[in-house]
Structure 1
Amino acid sequence: MAGVLTAPFRVLAFTAHSIASRGRVAELDPLQQPEQTGTVPISQEPPPRSEPESSPEPSLLTRFAYLSAPGTIAIGLLYYFGSTYNKAYYSTLGVQEADLQFSVQTHMVSTHAIFVPIWLLLGLALMLLLGFAGVRKVLGRPGNDVWRRRTIRWLLTLGLLTILTGFLSMGLWESIDIVPPLLVAVGATVAFLAVHLRLDQGSASGSNPHSRSRNRMWLEASALLIGLVAMSLFLHTSRYATLVGELAAYSTMESGFSEAPRAVIYSKFPINHHAPAIVYEDLGSKAGPYRHQYQGFRILVKVPTRFYLVSHGQRFGQHRTVVLPDDETVRVEISPWYVGGTALGSHRQPSAPQRRPAF
């Protein structure tokens, strides 16, 4: 009795299963669908390829930025080295750094003392690059792989040893502190050339993933070496400017400040100083309020509020700088030559001076 009652349900289940199976076959075989539906399949054409857009030409402002960036860096470096030179020069002569209020042009003109070594370094760098181009061409020929590897090892070892020597000698050569940065710069340059040869060898080895990762490592090392060269040359040039400024100050002292302007000081009150070879004379009440006269001074530098004076007769080891306030108590006569007569204290203008006076 139960079998008779469930027979219709079995027939319905079998029919539903058959319809579902036919639908899955139609979905799996799309070629049968046009026959059943009477439609024609639509062919899908690939989309047209877009042509690569050409990069726009750089604007006039971009080109100007490319040209002005190196010039800005050069002007900044000239200003820094010029200010370093002036600081060393005047500090050696006893002038306070805070009183130096030079213009940008004055600092840039002061770099004439370091032009010669800079041009020398640039010339040596150009010769080094030309020589390296020749060596690179020779080592790039077929059959020179062994010599290329040996050259890379020699240059890299020499460069690293030179860098290490420069760093270790930083505290040893205090009197000649311009040598260690130069050694570091030379060593970093030699090591950079070795890395460049190694990159050429890596680019010729093909597109091996391992070689690409090693080339990336060598590229990072070359960037670090370039930064080391730049910083070392900057430190070397800065220390060289300081050394040249100090030597120029010593030379100025030895010459008796012969190129400094001469000054005759007239003061309302006596001036206490210890500068040698200064001639004092009391002109009396007839000379007015500025009766105290001092001859033999040279103007080292003039700042807005004071004069820095030195004596024409002092030499190296006897240097004394006299700081005179620029106010209503003094009057200063400045001239490149002595404006008085041959005798000290005389105000008669000589008709035809025959010799250069002593001060």
Structure 2
Amino acid sequence: MEERPSDRPPPDKTFLEKAAIVVAPGSVIFAMLYYLGRTRVNAYYSVFGISVTELGLSTEEFLLASPNATFFPLWILLLAGLVGLMGFALLDRRLARTQGSRTRRRIYRAAAVAGAVLLLFSFIAVYVRPGWYVAPLLGALGAAAALFGLALRRSGSRAAAAGPAPGGGRERLRTLVGAVLVAMLTLCVFSGVAWYVHREGRAVALRELREGLDDRPSVRVYADKPVFGIPERLLEKYQPYRYVYDRFAVLTTSSTRYYLVPRTPPVGRLVTIRRDDPTMRVEVEQAVMRRGR
């Protein structure tokens, strides 16, 4: 009895297909944007000595902080990927036209060796230059070079008109190596982008320390005693808060505190005022207060 197509068992799913069922691509992108946004915000406020956990920022605020920092590195990565794919397509087509099997073999072997050397150097760079971008950059270049050689090798095998087909075990080994290289490339790229986001957040904070925060909301602090040095104004004696300070701007706020800094550069001191402090009163001169950065 002939077996019908509907009676045949479905083919086994690959590892990537099974992983896609468990972890949706949207969840991965959401988690990456959240992590990068939190990394940037944490790097920015760490310059001022503020912990992100004190601010109680929401998930949306971390996500909104991510695009400003990730646009440039992602644009560079997409451009590099486009150039690499176009270069691979041109080289593969040229080798296919000229029947340059020997040249193809030399190129993919050279790419594999270069990729292995770069991956080894990236591992060494982790201990030589920890926390720097050299390790993820070398790792990404090494994984990309190895993937280039592997793709060129597999393309040549499929294009061969004569000769025995590669064994199933050998093909599965190449697929596994390709999956490992893709994972290494992804980790290196993500590590490099996270490094860039962290440095960008600190750079913005350091620039504001030098140039001031003129774009932040101004505040007027009323105190019952001269807690911040000589006040800008002094009210009459019968006022409960006689000492008036106009020199501060709002860096950020939380549910329990105001975080104030001097408006004029250089910004060298952070002032924290509790909202329920009975000895002070804070008056914000602008209605809109931006908490995230």
TM-score bracket, shorter-length normalisation: 0.7 to 0.9
* Cα displacement (A) at 1:51: 2.2
Query: Residue 279 in 1 paired to residue 231 in 2?
Result: yes
2:281 to 327, 331, 336: 331
Residue aligned with 1:89, SS? helix
**1:114 aligned residue:** 70
- Separation of aligned partners in 2, 1:132 and 1:237: 25
Cα offsets for 1:26-54 (capped at 9, x unmatched): xxxxxxxxxxxxxxxxxxxxx3x232129
Question: TM-score scaled by structure 2?
Answer: 0.83
Does the CA contact (< 8 Å) of 2:132 and 2:195 recur in 1? yes
Residue aligned with 2:38, SS? helix
**1:250 aligned residue:** 206
Question: TM-score scaled by structure 1?
Answer: 0.69
Query: Residue 299 in 1 paired to residue 257 in 2?
Result: no
Residue aligned with 1:279, SS? coil
**2:102 aligned residue:** 146
- Separation of aligned partners in 1, 2:70 and 2:106: 38
Query: Residue 156 in 1 paired to residue 112 in 2?
Result: yes
Query: Residue 217 in 1 paired to residue 173 in 2?
Result: yes
Where does the alignment leave 5 or more consecutive residues of structure 1 unmatched?
1-46, 57-64, 338-359
2:24 to 69, 75, 81: 69
1:290 to 241, 264, 269: 241
- Separation of aligned partners in 2, 1:202 and 1:157: 19
Query: Residue 94 in 1 paired to residue 43 in 2?
Result: no
Structural RMSD (CA): 2.6
Cα offsets for 1:124-173 (capped at 9, x unmatched): 11121121112122223463110010011111112122222222222434
Residue aligned with 1:285, SS? coil
**1:105 aligned residue:** 60
Question: Structure 2 matches for 1:189-200, cutoff 5 A?
Answer: 189-200=144-155
* Cα displacement (A) at 1:265: 0.4
* Cα displacement (A) at 1:121: 1.0
- Separation of aligned partners in 1, 2:106 and 2:231: 74
- Separation of aligned partners in 2, 1:243 and 1:125: 24
Does the CA contact (< 8 Å) of 2:223 and 2:244 recur in 1? yes
Does the CA contact (< 8 Å) of 1:156 and 1:190 recur in 2? yes
Structure 1 stretch displaced more, 96-105 or 234-243:
96-105
- Separation of aligned partners in 2, 1:143 and 1:154: 19
Does the CA contact (< 8 Å) of 2:41 and 2:52 recur in 1? no
Query: Residue 52 in 1 paired to residue 5 in 2?
Result: yes
* Cα displacement (A) at 1:213: 2.5
Structure number with greater CO (CA < 8 Å, separation at least 6) is 2
Residue aligned with 1:53, SS? helix
Aligned residue pairs total 271
Does the CA contact (< 8 Å) of 1:279 and 1:296 recur in 2? no
Identity %: 30
**1:311 aligned residue:** 262
- Separation of aligned partners in 1, 2:93 and 2:111: 16
Letter of the 2:112 partner, please give it. Answer: L
Cα offsets for 1:285-326 (capped at 9, x unmatched): 332x222211201111101111111112341xx621111111
Letter of the 2:107 partner, please give it. Answer: T
Letter of the 2:283 partner, please give it. Answer: E
**2:135 aligned residue:** 180
* Cα displacement (A) at 1:269: 4.1
Residue aligned with 2:112, SS? helix
Does the CA contact (< 8 Å) of 2:55 and 2:255 recur in 1? no
Letter of the 1:89 partner, please give it. Answer: Y
Cα offsets for 1:235-287 (capped at 9, x unmatched): 1111111100000001111111112211110123442x47xxx7344323332
Letter of the 1:319 partner, please give it. Answer: G
- Separation of aligned partners in 2, 1:70 and 1:220: 21
CA spacing shift, 1:265–1:141, aligned 2, 3 Å: same
* Cα displacement (A) at 1:188: 0.3
**2:13 aligned residue:** none
**1:266 aligned residue:** 222
CA spacing shift, 1:50–1:171, aligned 2, 3 Å: closer
Does the CA contact (< 8 Å) of 1:202 and 1:215 recur in 2? no
